[in-house]
Amino acid sequence: MNRVVVTGIGVVSPIGSTIDRFWSALVEARSGIGPISVLPTERLTTTIAAQVLDFEPSQHFDAKREGLLDRFSQFAVVAARAAVRDAHLDISEEIAPQTAALVGNAAGGQNSVDESYYKLYGQKSPRVHPLTIPRWMVNAAVSQVSMDLGIKGPAYTIASACSSGTHAIGQAFQLVRTGQAAVALAGGTEACLTVGTIKCWEALRLLSADTCRPFSKTRSGLVLGEGAAMVVLETRDHAMARGAPIYAEILGFGMSADAGDIIAIDPDGAARAMRAALVDAKTNPQDIDYVNAHGTGTALNDRIETIALRKAFGASAERLAVSSSKGVLGHSLGAAGALELAATALALHHQIIPPTANFEEPDPDCDLDFVPNTARNAPIGQAMSSSFAFGGLNAVLVMARA
């Protein structure tokens, strides 16, 4: 089996769309959560989100192309281009059929849906834009990535809500490890900040009115976000042969289903995915130094995730550094796992543990080392990035320092 490494990272995020800006905001716990400004808010109760504010589509696409891409596809293509550039990768005619593209996504082209339904129901228009379906379909983003970069190998979308990005990178890891692909572009994208989707989230009563405070006693719910992250995965041999920079090695991938509640996270299901990832990585709990947690900032998730970490790591949980990036990035659903995997790879690369932002007060129910507010220089040999989705679908990756 091949060893698999991360050689390129591309992000479009609420804290910037270059790796330097992304990483420095994570390390400095500078939150990308702010007042909603990309939407009319008069019918919303929610006033905050983690929006991508510096994204100008015309800088990336000519007018004809832009019209074909919903915002979630634009994010994916821009992140994928950046990852390929970062990896100094040339997707030649020879390598294109051996290159895979896997994109995680939860909600599809919600901006296109919202616009067309507003015309239909709101303005009573008899027709919607003819390109609504090719913009909206949940596979549009991965199709646009493959078209834009000339990727001709295995390509598909993975939809597992908040775990989509992690599932996509995990599947890409397996394709490269087993030799079904030599190179893979993998990650997640989400652009779900529309009046319609936010109203639906409000109805679930899980959104914070304040900000996202993972693992803090004062946490008050999750904050929606948007963005994309794509990484380049390739065999270690392929990367070495072409002298590519290596951020980190992916060692293992674990998955599980809770077969329980449609909303609530289950400690056993989450712990099983973590254990499966450790087994797949042929490593031990005591060898993991850092966990980038799911940490949504809801009362339930953070309490149960703490229990799950203890179940998976046993006594080694005491020496773990655990942080959630969602205080900085918000929760971008299908993109979240990919953005967090990128953060974990950068943590291994820089040997710095990014903190849990907006942390105010320890919670007796969340009694691990959550690296509150201040980054930590620490040797990180191996790290874990975990996602636990609505519907009980869990995905966990284990990585090592390159």
Partner 1 sequence: MALSDRDVRVQTLDMSDDLEIINAVRSIISKSLKIPVERLTPDSRLDELGAESLDVIEIVFGLEEKFDISIPFNADEKKRVAIPDDSGEMQFSTIGDIANVVERLIEAKAGR
Least distance in Å: CB of 205 to partner 1? Answer: 4
220 touches partner 1 by CB under 8 A: yes
Please confirm, yes or no, whether 238 is among the known catalytic residues.
Answer: no
CA–CA dist 212, 359 (Å, integer): 9
Least distance in Å: CB of 260 to partner 1? Answer: 12
Cα distances (Å, whole numbers) of residue 79 to 72, 94, 294, 383: 11, 23, 22, 23
Q: Which stretch binds partner 1 (CB under 8 A): 78-86, 114-122, 207-215, 307-315?
A: 207-215
Closest CB to partner 1 among residues 298, 324:
298
Q: Which residues, numbered 256-275, are part of the site for partner 1 (CB under 8 A)?
A: 261-264
Q: Are 49 and 223 in contact (CB under 8 A)?
A: yes
203 touches partner 1 by CB under 8 A: yes
219 touches partner 1 by CB under 8 A: yes
286 touches partner 1 by CB under 8 A: no
Closest CB to partner 1 among residues 133, 263:
263
Closest CB to partner 1 among residues 43, 282:
43
45 touches partner 1 by CB under 8 A: yes
Residues 167, 294, 349, 366: which is the catalytic one?
Answer: 294
Please confirm, yes or no, whether 349 is among the known catalytic residues.
Answer: no
Closest CB to partner 1 among residues 185, 265:
265
Please confirm, yes or no, whether 162 is among the known catalytic residues.
Answer: yes
Residues 238, 331, 349, 366: which is the catalytic one?
Answer: 331
- Give the residue numbers annotated as catalytic, written as ranges: 162, 294, 331
The residue ranges that bind partner 1 (CB under 8 A) are 45, 203-209, 219-221, 261-264, 298-300
